[in-house]
Amino acid sequence: MTAFRVSVHITPRRGILDPQGKAVEGALHSLGFAGVKEVHVGRYIVVETDAETQNAAEAEVKAMCERLLANPVIEDFEIESVAAR
Partner 1 sequence: MRFGIVTFPGSNCDYDAFRAVVDTLGEEAVYLWHKDHDLQGSDVVILPGGFSYGDYLRAGAIARFSPIMREVIAHARRGGPVIGICNGFQIACEAGLLPGALLKNASLKFVSAPVRIRVENSQTRFTSDYDRHQILTIPVAHGDGRYTADDSTLKELEHSGQVVFRYVDSGGDATEAGNPNGSSNNIAGIINREGNVVGLMPHPERALDSLLGSDDGLGFFQSILATVAA
| Whole-number Å distance between alpha carbons of 12 and 66 | 15
Would you tell me which residues interact with partner 1 (CB under 8 A)? Answer: 12, 16-17, 19-20, 23, 43, 68-69, 71, 73-74
Q: Where are the beta strands (DSSP E) in 1-85?
A: 2-12, 43-51, 75-84
Least spacing, CB of residue 25 vs partner 1, in Å? 13
Q: For residue 8, what is the DSSP state?
A: E
By beta-carbon proximity to partner 1, the closer residue of 23 and 84 is: 23
Least spacing, CB of residue 54 vs partner 1, in Å? 25
